[in-house]
A and B are shown apart, each in its own frame.
Chain A
Amino acid sequence: MTEAIPTIAEAARLIAAKHLSPVELTRACLDRVQALDGRLHAFVHLTEDRALNEARAAETAIMRHGPKGPLHGIPIGLKDIVDTKGIPTTCQSKLLQDNIPDTDATCAEKLAAAGTVLMGKTTTHEFADGGPSFDLPAPPARNPWNTEHFTAGSSSGTGAGVAAGLILGGIGTDTGGSIRGPAALCGIAGIKPTYGLVSRAGVAPAAFSLDHIGPMAWTAEDCALMLQALAGHDPRDPASASRPVANYTAQLNNGIKGVRIGVIHHFHETDHKVSEGTQRSITAAIATFRDLGAEIREVQLSPLQDWLACGSLISITERAAAYEEWARTRLGEFSERVRSRLMLGAFVTGVDYVQAVRRRRELRAELQSAMKGLDVVLTATQPAEAAKIDAVPKWDLFAAPNFTMPFNVSGYPAISVCAGFGAGDLPVAIQLVAKPFQEPTLFRVADAFEKATPFRDRRPALVSA
């Protein structure tokens, strides 16, 4: 790992051994923010004073009693659609420029209780939709591997911030790929947990039945450490699962001999053919898994286009319902891209929506059946390396189906991990998917892959420049 920027797991070990102070760690992150964020725009609101105060408090507590857990004293960021008590939460929208919540979202509360140090609110697409937009109060985040390029979204600031070491981890949200997309293009790890595992309470909705909250960090292991603090039942979220929380790090380092991995070849080879660099990395990843002792099989599902149609109709309608009042009265205050997406709601009838929700039940049953006898399935996360930030089509929704929506439609947990570097030396990724609540298996496989490959040893050049 890069010496200058520890992973959460490494920092936690150093802090526990009293070889690293949370104050030093926080100052190092703040120094990188100072040096780099003028180019990256990962933060919309930096909470520098609060971060230093929390780091000092963590240091004092740790010196007296030892750390309360692996996140104690770890600098993190929260996507700016996550409510934070007393701290502006703008959803990157002109409509909420003066919004200062009086309560924390559950995920913010849980990370604070775990002892994290809040560095600030990270850049998002407006209300986690559309983007990149250049007509918002703050500019879009830029990719640390090449700042001319897009981060993907909508958890763009968390993706850029983690990759550049401005934070060690952060919160993203994912309605159709908004954690996994930025994780892939920024070369980090990001997990969309099982629907209902992490509370949505206090997070601005994009589409209620597709929205997931999850961690983004440099490694799968770090995501597991964060998920441990985030998971659990919350009566404030009506979709919250009432299940005991698993141990997400218990299976790490067990190896993956005998793990059964199904590859959905047709998703990334036929339905939406990926770039050469992405395909090369997927092929190499499959070989790595085979070398590690996994059994590789092929999986056939409905075409990607079916999953996208189902998810998009649900997403468009639920979003239009959530923001209907403002769309009717303050439409001109949304960014052009979000305004356009909200307008689409007029085209989807109630019957269209219900047919999509009936289709959703069929597709979920299909995935359930396909995964019988398998532990994990694998496909691409993104079709290609990051595009130039000024070359992202406005109507990408109709351009080609994405690889992430199927697992918002199904609610199954899915993680993106860096699988190498492609054209322009930009990161490419693979996506791994497990059965509901089988995040421990997902982390086991993702962690084994990261440890068997060299891609975690390299940070963006601008970090060391």
Chain B
Amino acid sequence: MPDIKDEALEFLLARAGLQLTDEQKAELMTVYAGIAAMAERVRKPRGHMAELAHVYNFTEEDLA
């Protein structure tokens, strides 16, 4: 399973604007692999044309 290095964690937390204690950071590192596995699982060979679920269309209300 993938691991995360301290520098990478610091970067992600700074990007997210979260200030954590050392204890919280250590715990978060233990579950990184779980999230990475989920992120891998949703990737399929679907090609660049595959749409996402949240698209929208205009309704009559937009034209009113």
Contact = CB atoms under 8 A, between A and B. Distances in A.
B39 interface: yes
A331 B19 contact: yes
Contact of B52 (A305, A313, A347, A354): A354
B15 A362 contact: no
A310 B42 contact: yes
A313 B34 contact: no
Nearest to B54: A357
A134 interface: no
A328 B34 contact: no
13 contacts: A306-B41, A309-B37, A313-B38, A320-B16, A324-B16, A342-B18, A347-B36, A358-B50, A359-B42, A360-B52, A361-B51, A362-B44, A398-B34
Nearest to B12: A346
A398 to B, nearest CB: 4
A348 B35 contact: yes
A354 B52 CA distance: 7
A287 interface: no
Nearest to B41: A309
- Across the A-B interface, give the 10 residue pairs with the lowest CB-CB distance, nearest first: A309-B38, A398-B34, A346-B16, A309-B41, A357-B52, A360-B53, A328-B17, A359-B42, A361-B53, A347-B35
A50 to B, nearest CB: 37
Interface of A: 209, 242, 305-306, 308-310, 312-313, 316, 320, 324, 327-328, 331, 339-340, 342-349, 352, 354-362, 364, 395, 397-398
Contacts of B50: 358, 361-362
B27 interface: yes
A344 B44 contact: no
Q: Which of A339, A346, A348 has the most CB of B within 10 A?
A: A346
Contacts of A209: 53-54
B28 A359 contact: no
A354 B43 CA distance: 10
